Structure 1
Amino acid sequence: MSKIPHFFLPIVLNLLMPLYVISQQSDHTTLLTVKQQLGNPPWSAAWNASSSPCNWPEIICTADNITYLVLQNKSITGKVPPAICDLKSLTYLDLSYNFIPGGFPTFLYNCSNLQYLNLSQNYFVGPIPSDIDRLSSSLQWFDVSGNNFSGNIPPAIGKLPELRTLYLYQNEFNGTFPEEIGDLANLVNLSMAYNDKFLQAKVPSEFGKLTKLQFLWMADCNLIGEIPDSFLNLSSLEHLDLTYNQLQGPIPKGLLQLKNLSFVYLYRNQLSGEIPTPIESLGLTEFDLSMNNLTGPIPEDVGKLQKLKVFKIFTNQFSGTIPPSIGRIPTLEIFSVFSNKLNGTLPPELGLHSKLEGFEVSDNEFTGKLPEHLCAGKTLFGVVAFSNKLTGKVPESLGGCSSLRTIQLYNNNFSGEVPLGLYTLFNLSSLMLSNNTFSGGLPKRLAWNLTRLEISNNMFSGEIPKEVSSWVSLVVFKASNNQFSGSIPTEFTSLPQAITLFLDGNLLTGELPIIIESWKSLSTLNLARNKLSGQIPAQFGSLPDLLNLDLSENKFSGQIPPELGHLRLTTLNLSYNELTGKIPDEFDNLAYERSFLNNPSLCANNPISNLRKCQTKTRKSKTLSPNILAVILVFSVILFMVTVLLTTFVVRDYKRKKLKRTLAGWKLTSFQILKFTKADILSRMTENNLIGSGGSGKIYRIAVPNSEEFVAVKRIGNSRKLDHKLEEEFLAEVEILGTIRHSNIVKLICCISSEDSKLLVYEYMENQSLDKWLHGKRRTEREPSSGLVHPVVLDWPTRLQIAVGAAQGLCYMHHDCSPAIVHRDVKSSNILLDSEFKPKIADFGLAKILAKRSEPNTMSAVAGSFGYIAPEYAYTAKVNEKIDVYSFGVVLLELVTGREANDGDEHTNLAEWAWRQQGEGISIIDALDEDIKEPLFLGEKTTVFRLGLICTSPQPLSRPSMKEVLQVLRRCDPLED
């Protein structure tokens, strides 16, 4: 081919230049048309006729041609303008994380140069078109995950020859997926996970032709049958995840010989047989076969995996001993083999050569001692070894392991005294030592964050120390069947967070103390089988949440306080005491027929069980004459009026002077327009306005002067100087709520601070917190026409409305705040409800701002509340949004089941109980709250229940984002259509 002479070049350039200018002008016009068709959204302000599109934030140009259009997370609610495909050089189109409705936009067939197409996390519906292969033949990336696509995945998708990434996960596909996917010879990433409506199907053997495949994610796809032997041809495979299916049969021999395998997740299936050997994937870092029916021994080859970080085989039928070589793996972080039939001694070198974080060996038949060096790396977060045959003392080294958050050694044969340092480990939240032969006394101090202490059925002795009042975080204390003696100190009644207290079966004596600070959260108190005496305190009747009371087999005397009748007790046992008199009328029925056995001097008006009928006696009363009574009454009234007037003047003058002195020490910082002064707030913080209290202080309901409005005031601290923890919580609350604005996040109006106390003033939420509606005493309302009283319950539409609103608030924090905010204490008591039951998230004292969304932060101490804490707290200190997702999943389960977060069996919580219900195939109807058990909306309730399960997945990576959670909930809510 001859070259163009030099003198022709200017002529050629002059001819081409108009074409280039026309092309640029055409693309410019196209984008302005797209902007107009999208309704001129605020983010498109830079899109104007006077600037170059290559300078617009959403545009990337290559050689002055528009090649990238990125409209991710722009809150687009309309359909996609077809004019986009008039951008002839467009190769990259990202429309993800919007609210785009309608069917698949087939006009994209006209984008002839498209290589990257991302439509994920939108509202697309209907089927993927059967002629999907009409998309650009150069397409390499196709992502439609997180939508509502249904029907079949068409076979034509296997005719996109250059496709490298295919993401179809989290949709509503209810048909089949084709074996033709195996024809995608260049495919590197394939994900169809969380499409549980797929028709049951086997994994096509044709998938074995994907020799370039590196990432395969088909969790919860309704897979059945065996893993095909053709998978042995996946020579490039690095990440294999087939969890939450119904796969059966053995793991193919040779699968663990694939040289590039790094991650193997096959948990929650029905796989059987042994782990195949040899294991030659020496790059394997995470290996999870948990919750299957696998048998046989743990292969010796596992000890050769020198890069292995996570080893999980729990809940199987494995037997034999653990190879000692596993203890010498230098990278091992998580070792989880619980619920098997393993025996022998534990590898003594576990933890010595690696920074071990999680150690879970419970529910096996291990013997011998705990390994001495579990915490040698100072990173151990959990020791879970209950229900074995372990013996000897607890290693002293654990008493210095400050990273520990949970220790569960119950149901073993441990002996000796517990290392004293174990009780005060800074981060420890649960210590469970029941059913051993431990000895020694109770400690005077506990870790500041310890919520659960269980030491029942041991040989502990001595008195309960008066320093028990410092156990301020304790929620559950079980010390049954030990040898504790002496009296119960008054300080024992001042545990502010206590829900469950068991001291039955000990040698306690003396009278019960007067309650100086009410057990405001106490639900269960068991002091049976001791030698306690005296009268039952009448103050028990003022405990607002007490449901179970057992004082049987003691030496209590006197009458049963009538105040006990104010309680709504589920169980009451006062049997085998020396009580006298008439039982309260509220207990005079068959529901309590076994509550008063062997109290010969008790009686009842309507005899129940062995109680005798009370004898009524009449007495003649002595009365004063009417004249004397009139004189006394007049004199009393006059004296009372004079006293009131004098007191009013004196008190008013004193209060004015005191308030003036007090105001000088308070500083007000406002975040909203105020309708009150700090004097209005401070002067009204009285006991009459007190409506509750939390872990950090009291809460008041205060009327705004000259208005019908109210505000809520939380006082942090008291007369003493604020401690460091409360100061941090106050600063976190102000920093976050003072800057963010969202209709589903409680509004912080101002803060008022002094040296000793901090006041946070919020908008008042008339219906208080969600937990009171779900778990508190049944509320009632009076019918105006008849005056009849009816119970008020949360119906399903209201519960769904609350779920959607709370999810919107968390979604805003995680995805719309920059940097992102993690709440860290999501729970039903921190979801407040206004007069129309609109939810708002509150209490940001533990919240954390993430410096970078992609990098999880670490924290020095565990945060959160019992029953809502994500399981990874047992083995990691990393903080990201997935801990909020777990806690919100627990809230969803509360909304559906009506159960409380810590309401499982003896050692489980609500999330674990719900997973067990699912695993045992129990109908969702049996798990529903009685108040919403009608078949109406059953599909929505089932969806929310399953969403709660997915959110509480043990693996953080398996949990959805809050944006994905919100999308699922909106699909359930007819008001969102």
Structure 2
Amino acid sequence: MTIPIIQSCMRLRCHFFLILFFFLDHTASQSQLYDQEHAVLLNTKQHLKNPSLLSHWTSTSSHCTWPEITCTNDSVTSLTLSNLNITLTIPPFVCDLTNLNHLDFSFNFIPGDFPTPLYNCSKLEYLDLSRNNFDGMVPNDIDKLGANLQYLNLSSTNFAGGVPPSVGKLKQLRELKLQYCLLNGTVAAEIDDLSNLEYLDLSSNFMFPEWKLPWNLTKFTRLKVLYLYSTNLVGEIPENIGDMVALEKVDMSKNNLTGGVPSGLFMLKNLTALYLYANGLSGEIPSVVEALNLVDLDLGRNNLTGKIPDGFGKLQQLSWLSLSLNRLSGVIPKSLGTLPALKDFRVFFNMLSGTLPPDFGRYSKLQTFLIASNNLTGKLPENLCYNRVLLNLTIYDNNLSGELPESLGNCSGLLDLKIQNNEFSGNIPSGIWTFLNLSNFMVSHNKFTGVLPERLPWNVSRFEIGYNQFSGGIPRGVSSWTNLVVFDASKNYFNGSIPQELTALPRLTTLLLDQNQLTGQLPSDVISWKSLVNLNLSQNQLSGHIPNAIGQLPALNQLDLSENEFSGQIPYLPPTITNLNLSFNQLSGRIPSEYENSVYASSFLGNSGLCADTPTLNLTLCNSSPQRTSKGSSWSTGLIIILVVVALLLALLASFLFIIFHRKRKQASGNSWKFISFQRLNFTEFSIVSSMTEQNVIGSGGCGTVYRVDVDDLGYVAVKRIRNNRNLDQKLESSFHAEVRILGNIRHTNIVRLMCCISNEDSMLLVYEYLENHSLDKWLHQNVKPLAVSGAVNKVVLDWPKRLKIAIGVAQGLSYMHHDCSPPVVHRDVKTSNILLDAQFNAKVADFGLARMLNNPGELNTMSSVIGSFGYIAPEYVQTTRVSEKIDVFSFGVVLLELTTGKEANFGDQNSSLSEFAWRHILIGGNVEELLDKDVMEASYLDEMCTVFKLGVMCTATLPATRPSMKEALQILLTLGEPFPYGDKNFGHHYDDIPLLKNSKEDTRLDVDDM
């Protein structure tokens, strides 16, 4: 018995030591692995130049306690180094963390090609490299990331090329995100091998060539999210898309899709969002609707016909419905009015008819109701604002009639009331006059009656009530409308005088009070109307003198005071006026010389007391000298003969001297000068040419030299000399003639004034008004004071009010070129060096050498080559050389970014610019305030600066169609302080992880196309 017991004890002892051995060996291995991983992480910190945000990574602390690290069984399995401002490459040894399965380097500035050392991370399941500065191609061997990879995010980088076939070998991949890259290749058909894919986003790769869906969609049975927004996708949407039964969100908007809307889309039980807007889809909308979980449906901006399906009334979850900008007809189904979740209803610009469903707004918290430009009749639904959350009521251009519902008077949050061009009658509900947030009050061309109350919405920017039947006087309370930009009260029954309080509106650009019964004199103090462009007071009974202060309005472009009872002489009027009408008054005296031009032939009719020095205007000729009496005529006749003889002798002598001088000058110059004047001038070509000396040079560039010349009566003028020689091609001469042709035909206070042009065989001279404060770039980017500022040479900061004034001025000039000139003019070289400033910092657009007239407005004009300045050139101009107004909008957006950030247009590395930097900052969710120029940023200006920055981002959108027009951009600048006005629903609505450009009320998509 003793021996078996001893043997048993020995076996137990062996097992104990064996277990102990393995335990000690495992502990040693774990300790060794820990030390190895700790060293890798500390080396990573050192490789990244010890960023301050990783200061807690020390040799004495456990790395498993660091917030960027996740450990499993004491080994690193997750490394998250997101949003640390990393500017260096990913450490090549990071895969020495052998158990790493989760790696996140997003929201940094990491440069270079795709980091192929990551192929060594054999257990990697999750990889996020988004929002970085990677470039190069998506690698053809990307499958080397391993068979375990489930999540791959390369979005918002500079990767180009296409989606390579090797991506199909990542069999376990569930999410693939490549949105906002620079992909310009094709999507490999092998992508349909990703049978486990649940989320696919290739959106906003604006450089995609035209491509079709190459895949067998039936293989994507697990796909829940499919985003192909703005990728130049063409062809038809396959009908078998209805076999993708797991689909929840689909966005194929802003492409070139044709054909019909597949009925299978409306059979998907799980579908919650469908965006197909801005394509070329045609045919009728499928009538069978079984996708009962739909929340957002946008089919706007297509060519759809037929009726709105009755089946939409079954979509009890539907919150957003946009069918605008199609060719839909018929009536709006009554069932839509009872949808309980409907917040946003948009069907504007269709051919819908009939009456509106009476229950709209009664059962849902309706916020947006846009039905403009249809053929709708009848009354507005009584309960549109039943839940008191309506923000936008846009129903203009219909045949709606009756009185407005009283419930509208309870919509205290209403921002936009646009109901013009209908048949409405009666009084405006009294509550509307008290709305604090109302920005656009546009009710013109209806049959409204009543009087204006003394107090009106203080925040209103557009107050348009023309062509109605309002009566009474203009209330003195208008002085509180400090944000008012447009005041249109034409053709009503207003009486009494124009109140002095109306002159206290500094942002006013348009004042139309024509065709009323106004009496009395014009207020004399109109000097505060610094932004006024259009003043029309015609067809009233106004009397007295025209105030001299009108001559001090710097932006006035259109002035119509005709058919009144004004008397006295015509005062000095600003040279910016291109449309002038003072006809049928009681004016007297001499016509100002600058208006003795056939352009103004109909501007002074019906004023019997007016005379002109020339017969151009078909007015009585002024008698410039008194008649002499016959007394003393005998000796005066002799005196006249003597004077004539002396004059002849002097003329002969002058001719002799002139011939000698001319011959010498011709020998020196080789030819004579040709002088073309665009206004009455008191100098000749010789006074200009003789002053073009070296000491008068103030600038030079690729197009020539600029001189400052002192001339009598005018002070200084600026002379640009374009010298011609045999080594130069015809581009400079073409530039000269383009500038003469365009500036000789347009006149605007925010466009530099061309006085004359002078040319001979050797040189071409352009003579402009002289701007004391030179160009904007000197103020923003050069650390010197312009000539208008005396004192020591150092940097002088241009404060924000002046910058905003400059932005508005430039916008006014470009808006005039794009929208008021016929044909429109495109500048093609808008930049801060071509924006000149006068002594009061009024901005004037200059240098029209590259400008082009669009002979066919709305069509693209193609140039033979791209000319412009880096950082300001629109991407579509580089790619296609096609010219439209939107290339100026892009350049203007860059100027706005310069004004708000203080950075130059080429800010960034050699391959990027300020506009790209700003877009990237927005996309990664950066705080706008971080980019603003600290030299001018104050709390009181912060909102304005943020709005102008956002407008700059909008103007520099890659797709031209998504940029605002210059008229829209100008409107935003003139109405600062209001919520940012653009938007369908949000910006990049499907990017849930991208911070949005937010409206103070709600998220906005910043899309001007559906305005």
Give the alignment's TM-score, normalised by structure 2: 0.68
Q: CA deviation at 1:400?
A: 1.8
Partners of 2:848 and 2:74 in 1: CA distance: 63
- Pairing 1:613–2:621 present: yes
**Alignment check: 8 A CA contact 1:813 1:822 kept:** no
Structure 1 counterpart of 2:262, one-letter code: P
Structure 2 partner of 1:462 = 472
Structure 2 partner of 1:9 = 19
Q: CA deviation at 1:387?
A: 0.8
Q: Deviation string for 1:35-92 (max 9, x for gaps)?
A: 2222223223222322222233322222211111112122222222211111111111
Structure 1 counterpart of 2:589, one-letter code: G
| Aligned partner (choices 32, 43, 61) of residue 51 of structure 1 | 61
Partners of 1:890 and 1:183 in 2: CA distance: 38
- Pairing 1:771–2:808 present: yes
Q: CA deviation at 1:341?
A: 1.1
Cα distance change on mapping 1:340 and 1:419 into 2, 3 Å = same
Q: CA deviation at 1:318?
A: 1.1
Q: CA deviation at 1:495?
A: 2.0
Structure 1 partner of 2:133 = 123
- Pairing 1:581–2:645 present: no
Structure 2 partner of 1:317 = 327
Structure 2 partner of 1:156 = 166
- Pairing 1:210–2:210 present: no
- Pairing 1:299–2:309 present: yes
Structure 1 partner of 2:607 = 599
| Aligned partner (choices 556, 561, 574) of residue 551 of structure 1 | 561
**Alignment check: 8 A CA contact 1:294 1:316 kept:** yes
Structure 1 counterpart of 2:73, one-letter code: A
Partners of 1:214 and 1:813 in 2: CA distance: 28
Partners of 1:163 and 1:900 in 2: CA distance: 39
Partners of 2:240 and 2:488 in 1: CA distance: 54
Q: CA deviation at 1:100?
A: 1.6
Q: CA deviation at 1:902?
A: 6.8
Partners of 1:707 and 1:20 in 2: CA distance: 69
Q: Deviation string for 1:728-773 (max 9, x for gaps)?
A: xxxxxxxxxxxxxxxxxx9xxxxxxxxxxxxxxx799899744345
Partners of 1:790 and 1:198 in 2: CA distance: 35
Partners of 1:887 and 1:48 in 2: CA distance: 45
Structure 1 partner of 2:577 = 569
Structure 2 partner of 1:445 = 455
Query: In structure 2, the residue corresponding to 1:225 is in which secondary structure?
Result: strand
Structure 2 partner of 1:169 = 179
Structure 2 counterpart of 1:957, one-letter code: F
1:396-411 aligned within 5 A: 396-411=406-421
- Pairing 1:957–2:1010 present: no
- Pairing 1:190–2:200 present: yes
Partners of 2:845 and 2:357 in 1: CA distance: 62
Q: CA deviation at 1:597?
A: 2.9
Cα distance change on mapping 1:815 and 1:710 into 2, 3 Å = closer
Structure 1 counterpart of 2:501, one-letter code: E
Partners of 1:473 and 1:387 in 2: CA distance: 26
Partners of 2:522 and 2:181 in 1: CA distance: 60
- Between the two proteins, the alignment pairs up a number of residues equal to 744
Query: In structure 2, the residue corresponding to 1:958 is in which secondary structure?
Result: coil
Structure 2 partner of 1:513 = 523
Structure 2 partner of 1:90 = 100
Q: CA deviation at 1:517?
A: 6.2
Query: In structure 2, the residue corresponding to 1:580 is in which secondary structure?
Result: strand
Structure 1 partner of 2:882 = none
Q: Structure 2 unaligned segments of length 5 or more: list them.
A: 1-10, 629-787, 815-833, 839-843, 850-867, 873-890, 903-914, 974-979, 998-1011
Cα distance change on mapping 1:507 and 1:807 into 2, 3 Å = closer
**Alignment check: 8 A CA contact 1:780 1:792 kept:** no
Identity of matched residues, %: 42
1:816-895 aligned within 5 A: 842=937, 844-845=939-940, 887-890=951-954, 892=956
Cα distance change on mapping 1:793 and 1:423 into 2, 3 Å = farther
**Alignment check: 8 A CA contact 1:885 1:962 kept:** no
Partners of 1:251 and 1:767 in 2: CA distance: 46
Query: In structure 2, the residue corresponding to 1:15 is in which secondary structure?
Result: helix
Partners of 1:179 and 1:479 in 2: CA distance: 62
**Alignment check: 8 A CA contact 1:409 1:433 kept:** yes
Q: CA deviation at 1:540?
A: 0.8
**Alignment check: 8 A CA contact 2:900 2:948 kept:** no
- Pairing 1:389–2:399 present: yes
| Aligned partner (choices 356, 380, 385) of residue 375 of structure 1 | 385
Partners of 1:551 and 1:895 in 2: CA distance: 43
Q: CA deviation at 1:465?
A: 2.2
Q: Structure 1 unaligned segments of length 5 or more: list them.
A: 621-702, 713-745, 747-761, 783-788, 833-838, 849-863, 866-880, 912-949, 966-977
Cα distance change on mapping 1:822 and 1:419 into 2, 3 Å = farther
Partners of 1:16 and 1:143 in 2: CA distance: 37
Structure 2 counterpart of 1:615, one-letter code: N
**Alignment check: 8 A CA contact 2:526 2:550 kept:** no
Q: CA deviation at 1:891?
A: 5.3
Cα distance change on mapping 1:775 and 1:471 into 2, 3 Å = closer
Partners of 1:66 and 1:894 in 2: CA distance: 41
Structure 1 counterpart of 2:582, one-letter code: L
Partners of 1:766 and 1:305 in 2: CA distance: 50
Query: In structure 2, the residue corresponding to 1:216 is in which secondary structure?
Result: strand
Structure 2 counterpart of 1:454, one-letter code: E
Partners of 2:181 and 2:900 in 1: CA distance: 19
Partners of 2:926 and 2:940 in 1: CA distance: 16
Partners of 1:343 and 1:790 in 2: CA distance: 46
Partners of 1:509 and 1:80 in 2: CA distance: 77
Structure 1 partner of 2:47 = 37
Cα distance change on mapping 1:773 and 1:296 into 2, 3 Å = closer
Q: CA deviation at 1:846?
A: 7.5
| Aligned partner (choices 500, 505, 508) of residue 498 of structure 1 | 508
Partners of 2:957 and 2:541 in 1: CA distance: 42
Q: Deviation string for 1:643-695 (max 9, x for gaps)?
A: xxxxxxxxxxxxxxxxxxxxxxxxxxxxxxxxxxxxxxxxxxxxxxxxxxxxx
Structure 2 counterpart of 1:24, one-letter code: Y
**Alignment check: 8 A CA contact 1:890 1:952 kept:** no
Structure 2 counterpart of 1:903, one-letter code: K
**Which 10-residue stretch deviates more, 349-358 or 489-498?**
489-498
Structure 1 partner of 2:343 = 333
Structure 2 counterpart of 1:489, one-letter code: P
| Aligned partner (choices 131, 144, 157) of residue 147 of structure 1 | 157
Structure 1 counterpart of 2:230, one-letter code: D
Partners of 1:217 and 1:818 in 2: CA distance: 19
Structure 1 counterpart of 2:586, one-letter code: E
Query: In structure 2, the residue corresponding to 1:163 is in which secondary structure?
Result: coil
Q: Deviation string for 1:305-341 (max 9, x for gaps)?
A: 1111111111111111111111111111111111111
1:615-654 aligned within 5 A: 615-617=623-625
1:183-262 aligned within 5 A: 183-262=193-272
Cα distance change on mapping 1:710 and 1:171 into 2, 3 Å = closer
Partners of 1:30 and 1:447 in 2: CA distance: 65
Cα distance change on mapping 1:952 and 1:781 into 2, 3 Å = closer
- Pairing 1:263–2:273 present: yes
Give the alignment's TM-score, normalised by structure 1: 0.70
Structure 1 counterpart of 2:952, one-letter code: F
Q: CA deviation at 1:619?
A: 11
Q: CA deviation at 1:802?
A: 4.5
Structure 2 counterpart of 1:39, one-letter code: K
Query: In structure 1, the residue corresponding to 2:617 is in which secondary structure?
Result: coil
Partners of 1:766 and 1:352 in 2: CA distance: 47
**Alignment check: 8 A CA contact 1:98 1:121 kept:** yes
